[in-house]
Amino acid sequence: MAKKASALNVALIGTKFMGKAHSNAWSQVNHFWQRPRAVKKVVCGRDEQGTQAMAETWGWEEASTDWQKTVRRKDIDIVDVCTPNHNHAEIAIEALKAGKHVLCEKPLAMNVAECEAMTKAAKAAKGKLNFVCYNYRRVPAVSYARQLVQEGRIGRVYHIRCVYLQSWIMDPNFPLVWRLQGDLAGSGPHGDLNAHIIDAARFITGDEITEVVSAFETFIKERPLGAMTGGLSAKGGSKTGKVTVEDAALILGRTQGGALASFEATRFAQGRKNGNAIEINGEKGALRFEFEDMNRLKFYDATQPSKLQGWTDILVTEADHPYFGAYWPAGHIIGYEHTFINIAADCLEAIGAGKAAQCGPTFADSTQTQRVLEAAQRSAKSKKWEKTGC
């Protein structure tokens, strides 16, 4: 019988926004969760000086600019991929071939073909686990919403309504960063934001989206050339380039279970910074979640007498709510960073137990989300309903 690992060495590939979020998660996870110990072994980035600074700031033992060499190191157990989208498939596949467990940021890849190649590599990597970082699954309120649906508390689902609204590129002088370039990002808010809410809808309802019709729009066609400087900030120059992704995406869909679904993602919603919300209407009740009030879940119980019916505001901070028991006393809320800590905890638990975490998602699961994204991209061009293949 194989001896369970008491410590697992992590290699982080990527040093920007998500690199910071994941570094914090690996730093904090063992403070709250009894799991195999996460050792921050090496961080890898393209810029030697910036990567060294990242290592010093976040306590990584080493810094590297060679991801191929890093993922092949014999002392690495987990490869955490936090690079721009166009690198995901290549790095993850190489890491799996090298016998590593892999955690990959979302969207999983640029297209379904890359997702399928990653899933194939994952199946071939016997005994090695794979995870995709859809962090909103790890919000206690979202996980609790899934539990309520599974318990039949809202009955048959009729409507799924999701929006993800941001405003950070509304200034036409905001630079043409990698997220606005199709060859690097694959898409704009569609792959960046719709991916999150499509995954959340699938996760909460347990239902698959079978066909979609969509409309995309790019409002600002050209922008100054530039680069990200941290978070969602950027710096640009005098030269301009063409924006090759959409600024906004709207999707209507039908699910296998017979529900109607809508998804809206935009970076042009004035007044919205991170407006991620989902509402699900069923025969017996309804649920509503808004990330900007992430510790609360709204629940409507239509089985109650009419004089008692109304939206119940549940503060999801009890010890028996999903994830929350690892943190603070009831009512002491958690934040965005805890969603990544919860992912790290699930990864370490799954690897320690030798099986995938129940809440996933794995590469295979996330390929289903990519099928929906790709069908919507086809629909935006054909202006017709498109099957997802889910």
- In this structure, what are the phi and psi dihedrals at residue 64, rounded to the nearest 5 degrees? -145, 155
Higher pLDDT, 174 or 238: 174
Do the beta carbons of residue 17 and residue 230 sit within 8 Å?
A: yes
CA gap 356, 359 in Å, rounded: 8
pLDDT exceeds 50 at position 123: yes
Residues in a beta bridge with 103: 80, 131
- Please return the burial class of 367, using the count of CB atoms within 10 Å of its CB with bins 0-12, 13-18 and 19+: buried
In degrees and rounded to multiples of 5, residue 116 shows phi and psi of -65, -35
3-state SS, residue 303: coil
For residue 286, what is the enclosing H or E element?
Answer: strand 285-290
pLDDT of residue 2: 44
Length of the chain: 390
Flag whether pLDDT at 156 surpasses 60: yes
pLDDT computed for residue 297 by the predictor: 98
The predicted-structure confidence for 51-79, as pLDDT tens digits, reads as follows: 999 999 999 999 999 999 999 999 999 99
The DSSP annotation for 137-195 comes to: GGSHHHHHHHHHHHTTSS-SEEEEEEEEE--TT-STTS-B-GGG-HHHHSSSHIIIIIH
Percentage of residues of the chain with pLDDT beyond 70: 95
For 236-292, how does the pLDDT look when each residue is reduced to its tens digit (9 = 90+)?
667 889 999 999 999 999 999 999 999 999 999 999 999 999 999 999 999 999 999
- pLDDT at 101 (0 to 100): 97
Q: Is the pLDDT of residue 34 over 60?
A: yes
| Res 1 pLDDT > 60 | no
Rounded to an integer, what distance in angstroms lies between the CA atom of residue 247 and that of residue 268? 7
What is the pLDDT at residue 355?
77
Give yes or no for residue 224 having a pLDDT over 80: yes
pLDDT surpassing 80 at residue 229:
no
pLDDT-derived band at 38 (thresholds 50, 70, 90) equals very high
Give the mean pLDDT of 291-311.
97
Please tell me which residue, 224 or 98, carries the higher pLDDT value.
98
User: Has residue 155 got a pLDDT over 80?
Assistant: yes
Mean pLDDT of 150-166: 98
Interval 366-384: pLDDT, tens: 999 999 999 999 999 999 9
- Distance (Å, rounded) from C-alpha 131 to C-alpha 360? 6
pLDDT in tens, 206-221: 999 999 999 999 999 9
Which pLDDT band holds residue 235 (cuts at 50, 70, 90)? low
Q: What is the pLDDT of residue 225?
A: 86
Map out the domains of the chain with their CATH numbers.
7-136 (3.40.50.720), 139-332+368-382 (3.30.360.10)
Given a contact cutoff of 8 angstroms between Cβ atoms, the answer to whether 129 and 101 are in contact is yes
Contact (CB, 8 A) for 356 and 346: no
Contact 149, 204 (CB under 8 A): yes
Mean pLDDT in residue range 113-129: 96
- Tell me what percent of the residues of the chain surpass a pLDDT of 90: 89
256 phi and psi, to 5 degrees?
A: -60, -35
pLDDT, averaged across the chain: 94
pLDDT digits (tens, 9 = 90+) for 320-370: 999 999 999 999 999 999 999 999 999 999 999 887 666 689 999 999 999
Residues 6+ apart with CB under 8 A from 16: 82, 228, 230
Which candidate, 132, 128, 45, places its Cα nearest to that of 88? 132
pLDDT average, residue stretch 25-37: 97
Whether the pLDDT of residue 25 is over 50: the answer is yes
